[in-house]
Amino acid sequence: MLSAAAKQFRANGYAAVSLRAIAKAAGLTTGSMYYHFKSKEDIVGEVLFQGHLIVLDQVKATLDNIATDDHEARLRGAIKTHILCLFGEDSLPAANIRIFSQVPQEVRSGAMATRRAYEALWIGLLEQAQRAGQIRANLSVPILLPLMLGAINWTTEWSNGDEDSLETIVTELMLLIQR
């Protein structure tokens, strides 16, 4: 149900997707939706929240399996995981990325907390890698992060998302930031 919504938000944007379309894709009618959610904003709010949560959890899980001092592998793993989430099957994360700025402001504010948590994770990751000499010293992490995440998030606009292409992209990103 959320994933039916996410799939369409991702493909068409927030306003273009009607409750009828979501309901139909989920095998329900409009009326039934209002038993689970109290409005369209409520649905999209949940999509945003879950979307963030999924990437955050996945990246954390990836990092848990990599030695804390292998900064190259940690960076590469985090980037790869983020991008895999974007192109994943019924991607709440991708919908999140795509429609975040189209959504009514109250909804956006509600999704800010998890977003900050995710960014904090990345800041720590990049700073540690830089201290260890993995990332070039002349780069500024607070600017680098949004630029890098932007480059990654934008791939949904031009990449077809097949495994080889994604691997190439990750490699190029690593070359860009590495010492």
Partner DNA sequence: GTCTATAGGATGATAGAC
Partner DNA sequence: GTCTATCATCCTATAGAC
Least Å distance, CB 43 to DNA, is 8
Site residues for a second copy, window 22-41 (CB under 8 A)? none
Residue from 102, 108, 123, 161 touching a second copy (CB under 8 A): that is: 102
Closer of 29 and 168 to DNA (Cβ): 29
Total binding residues toward a second copy, as defined by CB under 8 A: 34
12 binds a second copy (CB under 8 A): yes
Q: Quote the CA–CA distance of 60 and 57 in Å, as a whole number.
A: 5
Distance CA 109, CA 2 (A): 20
Q: What is the Cα–Cα distance from 8 to 3, expressed in whole angstroms?
A: 9
Hunting for tokens 């930031």 — which residue is that? Answer: 177
Overall residue count recorded for the chain in this entry: 179
Q: Is 150 in the site for DNA (CB under 7 A)?
A: no
Q: Does 175 bind a second copy (CB under 8 A)?
A: yes
Q: Where in 24-63 is the site for DNA (CB under 7 A)?
A: 27-32, 34-36, 38-41
Among residues 60, 120, 154, 179, the one that binds a second copy under rule CB under 8 A: 154
Residue 110, token pair as written in the block: 């509600």
Q: Is 94 in the site for a second copy (CB under 8 A)?
A: no
* Residues in CB range of 148: below 8 A, 6 or more apart: 79, 173, 177
When binding is defined by CB under 8 A, the residue of 64, 157, 163, 164 that contacts a second copy is 157
Q: Residues 131, 140, 167, 179: which binds a second copy (CB under 8 A)?
A: 140
Amino acid at 1: M
Please give the C-alpha separations between residue 66 and each of 23, 73, 103, 135, in angstroms, as whole numbers.
41, 7, 36, 18
Interface segment toward a second copy; rule CB under 8 A; list 35-43, 59-67, 77-85, 156-164: 156-164
3-class SS of residue 160: coil
Q: What are phi and psi of 178, to 5 degrees?
A: -70, 160
What are the residues binding a second copy (CB under 8 A)? 12-16, 100-102, 136, 138-140, 143-144, 146-155, 157-159, 168-169, 172-173, 175-177
